[in-house]
């Protein structure tokens, strides 16, 4: 099993590569809820207020009620039929949830109303095949900019409108450095 974890107020939230999402209170040693959504999760997990955020291997981004595990919102994005080792990536700032999927698209979703505000595709090729899949590293942001290091380029993107501020022909094996 591959687990993705996040801890909040004594509760460990877990998604796995089998399709389960669950909440475990480690103070009371009790499972609060467990759901089988039947599609493996393929991202880190984030928390925004009362929402738990994760994505699955089909590049669907989910917002869940962190107290019940019920789906609040599903945002389908481009499904990539050829799977690679890249893991979908989620980052938060005060206004947006940023989601980089395995297809190479970066989305900004409002934390308030869970609506897509903008998206940009960073994949340099429209020909998706096993020899030229998008690959990137953990995305980070500093409230005003999003930093993405892909397999070929490093991008600095305006967090409010999705415009590329900076694009250079170098990549990083680890998350981008600020």
Statement: residue 71 has pLDDT above 90: yes
Closest CA to 86 of 106, 104, 102, 103: 102
Q: What is the structure's pLDDT at 102?
A: 84
**Residue for token digits 């595990």?**
69
Report the percentage of the chain scoring pLDDT > 70.
Answer: 87
> Does residue 80 sit in helix, strand or coil?
coil
Cβ–Cβ < 8 Å for 178, 140:
yes
Q: Which of 54-58, 100-104, 133-137 has the lowest mean pLDDT?
A: 133-137
Q: Which residues contact 105 (CB under 8 A, 6 or more apart)?
A: 77, 78, 119, 120, 121, 122, 123
Q: What is the structure's pLDDT at 33?
A: 98
Q: How far apart are CA 21 and CA 42, in angstroms?
A: 12
pTM of the model: 0.89
């Amino acid at each position: 099993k591959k687990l993705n974890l996040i801890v909040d107020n004594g509760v460990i939230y877990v998604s796995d590569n089998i399709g389960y999402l669950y909440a475990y209170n480690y103070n009371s040693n009790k499972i609060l809820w467990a759901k089988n959504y039947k599609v493996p999760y393929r991202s880190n997990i984030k928390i925004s207020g009362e929402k738990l955020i994760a994505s699955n291997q089909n590049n669907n981004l989910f917002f869940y009620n962190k107290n019940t595990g019920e789906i609040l919102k599903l945002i389908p994005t481009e499904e990539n039929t050829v799977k690679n080792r890249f893991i979908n990536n989620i980052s938060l700032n005060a206004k947006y949830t940023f989601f980089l999927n395995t297809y190479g698209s970066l989305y900004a979703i409002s934390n308030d109303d869970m609506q897509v505000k903008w998206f940009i595709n960073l994949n340099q090729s429209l020909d998706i095949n096993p020899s030229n899949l998008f690959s990137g590293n953990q995305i980070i942001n500093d409230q005003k900019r999003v930093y993405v290091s892909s397999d070929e380029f490093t991008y600095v993107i305006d967090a409010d409108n999705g415009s590329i501020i900076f694009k250079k022909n170098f990549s990083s094996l680890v998350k981008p450095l600020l």
